[in-house]
Amino acid sequence: MMQRLSRHKIAGTDIEVSPLGFGTVKFGRDQGVKYPEHFTIPDDREVLELLSLAHDLGLNLLDTAPAYGTSEERLGQLFAKDKTLRKNWVICSKVGEEFDNGESRFDFSEQHIRYSVERSLKRLNTDVIELMLVHSNGEDVNIIEQTGCLEVLSDLKKEGKIRATGMSTKTVEGGVLALKYSDIAMVTYNLNEQGEKPVLDYALENDKGILVKKAFASGHVCLSGQDPVLESLKLVFSHKAVSSAIVGTINPAHLRQNVEACLAAS
């Protein structure tokens, strides 16, 4: 039997996560996604089998968002049918980005953020969401400075609706600023793109959490004569600030391979 992934606390929090997180965009959205190959959204039986396999392999971090189509609703329906299923997962969701009729739109107002969090709680059939991040449109600094979105999430944390706050950022300045005002930054870091490394450095120096998105460059990493998954994860986990890398496969074989690579890389 394959060794299971271990867990450790996200820096600055009491939340324990596996080094691989399970991204669920493919559970609810197949439009406007940047993957090299077409995929079919899995049905409920396939989703349950994937979640069960991921749990058996030691994954406990589940990444979703309103912008992931029907992902939140589908997960919530499964949680409602099996009360023990919810207990297996630390949930990370987002605010700020909506996806309607094949297009994204953004709203970082206090009213919308509060509405979005309450809606996610209902969709996910849960009383609390462990991690809640602002889904940036790329204008990280302007969003943080002009909308007060991270302060709103901080208030919701005090109200007990979320346990940790942060931002999925796209710039170094935004990532560092997000960490000054919250617990976690989710950043791009892979073999093709390492420009946001200063955010990881800042997090390590200031006891803040880092989640990595696009660890495999959305499936576009290619290496001659080497295992791209293993080499990607070696890079990601070579930085001690990284708590978890979010991986969005819906292929059971790939999920097992990712876990094997993660065990070998860490």
Residues annotated as part of the active site? 68
Residue tagged 């696009």 (tokens): 214
**Residue 3 Cα to chain centre, angstroms:** 23
**Residue 263 Cα to chain centre, angstroms:** 20
Give me the residues paired with residue 210 across strands: 185, 242
Phi, psi of 20 (to 5 degrees): -110, 135
Q: Tokens standing for 257?
A: 């391979």
Closest by Cα among 223, 220, 143 to 182: 143
Q: Are 137 and 103 in contact (CB under 8 A)?
A: no
219 vs 119: CA distance, rounded Å? 31
Residue 211, burial from CB neighbour count under 10 angstroms (0-12, 13-18, 19+): buried
79 vs 83: CA distance, rounded Å? 6
Residue 159, burial from CB neighbour count under 10 angstroms (0-12, 13-18, 19+): exposed
